[in-house]
């Protein structure tokens, strides 16, 4: 007799003893079972007969009867891929608007089965999905990735030719005695790293417009090219109502597309931020200890002298620069036809 059959016969003996004694507790003490085990054995015997006394072999369990359907589970997974930062209650409410009834507990159950309980796990799933296939990410998805993923936030911005992308930003330089706060309005061509900078005592939109109109645009116009896109953060000096904001109106007048970082806080791309760090380490911290400045004009003269060195003499080791100066790279990557992307790509390949 096998072990399973011996156990089944012992369970049957327990049921017969309890019937003979008329006392479940005493029968359980004699046979070495608990009352809970007795009632479970009796229920299985009444339901399945003698087969109910055999111990069930451990294996895969069928889905829980209260488990959500496959169509609802798929809807939950698709929603958390499109909106990875939504909580369980928010997902349940959003699906209810689409006629899909599911509780927040049901949403968490689906997340638990797929390892998506934490927001970080759902963001990693979005990042993996976007890496495996070519998709067009929504503004909300890109914003979430930029906020929680350092790798995605610091990804390199591609610029194929001079004027393809101009990064602009505002940098707080410090306080000048008798003058007040001093700000730097800076612009840098993302393809060649050619940089411009001008100091102001405020960071109003008119200062950002003044830098473009006075320094940046004349450089491009002198070589017969135009600026395609300007990249800025969400600072008030750059962003506002398109029909009223001076900076927005100026870009529209010049036919320049305005591209903003999607994160809802002041943040720009790494190229211009790296330029600010270089200015701080190589110029402002040095000249601030070497020269006693009394006016912004004196600071601007020293900055202009440094920018000449930065643009025409200082070799760069950035991506695609190959040790060239920004001015050399700017000239090398001027497209033959400013309106022809094909010519621009050809000249980019030659420069590389």
- The domain ranges of the chain are 3-53, 70-153, 166-351
Q: What is the rounded CA–CA span in Å between residue 326 and residue 167?
A: 15
- pLDDT at 351 (0 to 100): 44
Q: How far is 193 from 330, CA to CA, in rounded Å?
A: 8
Whole-number Å distance between alpha carbons of 257 and 226: 11
Among 152, 215, 151, 171, residue whose Cα is nearest residue 189? 215
pLDDT at 104 (0 to 100): 92
Residues 6+ apart with CB under 8 A from 44: 52, 53
Q: Residue 161 — very low, low, confident or very high, per pLDDT cuts 50/70/90?
A: confident
- Residue ranges of alpha helices (H) inside the chain are 3-21, 24-31, 35-48, 70-82, 88-97, 104-113, 119-132, 139-148, 150-153, 205-211, 217-222, 246-254, 270-279, 285-290, 296-312, 326-332, 341-351
Contact 192, 314 (CB under 8 A): no
Measured CA to CA, the distance from residue 144 to residue 153 in angstroms comes to 10
pLDDT band at 156 (very low <50, low <70, confident <90, very high): low
Transcribe 6-65 into DSSP letters: HHHHHHHHHHHHHHHHS-HHHHHHHHT--HHHHHHHHHHHHHHGGGGGSPPPP-PPPPPT
- Higher-pLDDT residue of 28, 62: 28
Integer Cα distance of 303 and 287 in angstroms: 9
276 vs 295: CA distance, rounded Å: 21
pLDDT digits (tens, 9 = 90+) for 12-21: 888 888 888 8
pLDDT at 218 over 70: yes
- Cα separation, 31 vs 37, in Å, equals 11
User: How many other C-beta atoms can be found within 10 angstroms of the C-beta atom of residue 79?
Assistant: 19
Question: Would residue 58 be called left, alpha or beta, if left means φ above 0 and alpha means ψ between -120 and 50 degrees?
Answer: beta
Helix (H) or strand (E) holding 185: strand 180-189
Locate tokens 């890496």: which residue? 131
Strands 229-232 and 195-200: unpaired
Residues paired with residue 188 on neighbouring β-strands, in sequence order: 167, 195
How large is the average pLDDT for residues 91-103? Answer: 92
Asked if the model's pLDDT at residue 261 lies above 70, the reply is yes
Q: How confident is the model at residue 56 (pLDDT cuts 50, 70, 90)?
A: low
61 band by pLDDT with thresholds 50, 70 and 90: low
CA distance 77 to 327: 50
Any bridge partners for residue 169, and if so which? 186
Q: What is the pLDDT of residue 338?
A: 46
pTM of the model: 0.53
Class of CATH domain 166-351: alpha beta
Q: pLDDT tens-digit profile of 104-154?
A: 999 999 999 999 999 889 888 888 887 776 656 676 776 676 666 655 555
DSSP states of 305-321: HHHHHHHHT----STTT
């Amino acid at each position: 007799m096998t072990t399973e059959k011996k156990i089944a016969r012992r369970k049957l003996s327990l049921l017969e003893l309890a019937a003979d004694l008329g006392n479940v507790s005493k029968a359980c003490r004699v046979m070495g079972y608990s009352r809970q085990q007795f009632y479970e054995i009796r229920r299985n015997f009444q339901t399945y007969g003698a087969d109910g006394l055999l111990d069930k072999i451990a294996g895969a369990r069928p889905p829980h009867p209260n488990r959500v359907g496959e169509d609802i589970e798929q809807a939950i997974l698709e929603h958390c891929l499109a909106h990875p930062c939504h909580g369980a209650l928010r997902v349940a409410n959003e699906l209810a608007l689409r006629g899909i009834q599911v509780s927040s507990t049901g949403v968490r159950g689906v997340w638990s089965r797929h390892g998506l309980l934490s927001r970080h796990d759902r963001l990693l799933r979005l990042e993996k999905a976007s890496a495996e296939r070519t998709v067009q990410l929504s503004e909300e998805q890109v914003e979430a990735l930029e906020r929680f993923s350092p790798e995605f936030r610091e990804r390199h911005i591609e610029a194929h030719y001079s004027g393809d992308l101009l990064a602009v930003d505002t940098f707080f330089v410090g306080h000048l005695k008798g003058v007040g706060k001093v700000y730097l309005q800076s612009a840098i061509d993302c393809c060649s790293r050619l940089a411009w900078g001008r100091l102001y005592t405020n960071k109003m939109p008119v200062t950002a417009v003044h830098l473009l109109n006075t320094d940046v645009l004349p450089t491009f116009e002198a070589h017969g090219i135009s600026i395609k896109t300007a990249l800025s953060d969400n600072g008030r000096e750059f962003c506002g109502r398109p029909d009223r904001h001076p900076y927005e109106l100026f870009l529209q007048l010049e036919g320049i597309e305005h591209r903003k970082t999607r994160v809802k806080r002041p943040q720009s791309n790494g190229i211009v931020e790296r330029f600010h760090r270089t200015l701080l380490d190589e110029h402002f911290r040095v000249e601030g200890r070497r020269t006693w400045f009394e006016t912004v004009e004196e600071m601007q003269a020293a900055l202009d002298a440094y920018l000449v060195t930065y643009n025409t003499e200082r070799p760069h080791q950035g991506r695609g620069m190959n040790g060239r100066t920004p001015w050399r790279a700017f000239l090398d990557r001027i497209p033959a036809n400013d309106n022809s992307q094909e010519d621009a790509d050809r000249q980019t390949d030659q420069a590389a």
